[in-house]
Amino acid sequence: MFSHDKLLFAGILTVGLLAAPASAFDFGRPATPAEIKLWDIDVGPDGKGLPDGSGTAVQGKQVFADNCAACHGDNGQGGIKDRLAGGQGTLASNAPVKTVGSFWPYATTLFDYIHRAMPYPTPGSLSTEETYAVTAYILSLNGIIPADGKVDKDSLPKIRMPNRDGFVPQPEFDPAKLFRRK
C-alpha cells in the first residue's frame, strides 16, 4: 500500500513538475511580510532575529524575582526547576551540574528560550526589554557579564560562553561537514 502511494505520489509530482511549477497547486495562501514578522521569533547564534532594545542585569534582578525565582530559586539555584547558575568545572565529574554558565554554548539561545517559553505559566509575556534584562541577570549570576552589565542585539552574540567549545557534533550530522560540496 505504501509503495503504491509512493508511486502515485511520485506520479503526481512528476506531472506537476512537467506541467507547471509545483506552486501552481492551489494549496494554502501567501504569507504576508507583516504576519511572518509576527511569528518569526527564532534567534540564531549569530544574533540574527534579535530585536532592537536592551536590558541590564540590575533591571533583570527585579524581573527575575517577579517572574522566575518561584521555580528557579533566588539567584537561579535551589528551585524546583532547572538550576541556572554555577556548576562550572563539574561536567567531567560523577555529578555534573548543567547550568547556563556551565553548559550552554550560546548566549543567544538564552534570549530565544526565555522569549519563547518563559515564564512557564505565561510564555511570551515579558517585554523585549525585560527579556534582555533577565538574560543579562542570568549571565551575571554566572559571572559571564558584570553585575552592572547590559546586553542588546549587538553584544549578546559576541559573548563567549564558558562551555562554547564543549560540544562535539555527532559525525553523521556535523553542521560543519554535512552539506559541504564533495
Partner 1 sequence: MGVAASEVARAETLADVPDRAPGADLSAHSERSRFAKLDRIPEATPGKRNVDPGDAINSKTPHQKLVGNITPTDLHYERSHSGVPDIDPAQHRLLVHGMVQKPLVFSLDDLKRMPSVTRIVFIECTGNGWENWKKADPDLTVQNTHGLVSTNEWTGVPLKFLVDLVAKDKGSTWMLAEGGDGAGVDRSIPLTEEIVNEAFVAYGQNGEPLRPAHGFPMRLVMPGFEGNLNIKWLRRLKFGNAPWMTRWETARYTQLLANGKARQFQLRMETNSVITQPSGMMQIQPGYNRISGLAWSGHGKIAKVEISTDGAQTWKQAQLAQPVLSKAQVRFQMDWVWDGKPTRIVSRSTDEQGNAQPDRQTFIAAMGTNALFHYNAQQTWSIDDAGRVRNVLA
Beta bridge partners of residue 151, listed in sequence order: 55
Q: Which of residues 13-52 bind partner 1 (CB under 8 A)?
A: 13, 16-17, 21-23, 25, 27-31, 35-36, 39-45
Stretch 160-179: interaction string toward partner 1, x if CB under 8 A:
------xxxxx-xxxx--xx
Enumerate long-range contacts of 144-150, CB under 8 Å, 24 or more apart: 144/101, 144/107, 145/57, 146/57, 147/57, 147/58, 148/56, 148/57, 148/58, 149/56, 149/57, 150/54, 150/55, 150/56, 150/57
Exactly one of 66, 117, 143, 146 binds partner 1 (CB under 8 A); which one?
117
Is 116:43 a contact under the CB 8 Å cutoff? Answer: no
Asked if 98 touches partner 1 (CB under 8 A), the answer is yes
Q: Which residues bind partner 1 (CB under 8 A)?
A: 1-2, 5-6, 8-9, 12-13, 16-17, 21-23, 25, 27-31, 35-36, 39-45, 91-92, 94, 96, 98, 100, 103-106, 108-109, 112-113, 116-117, 120, 123, 166-170, 172-175, 178-179
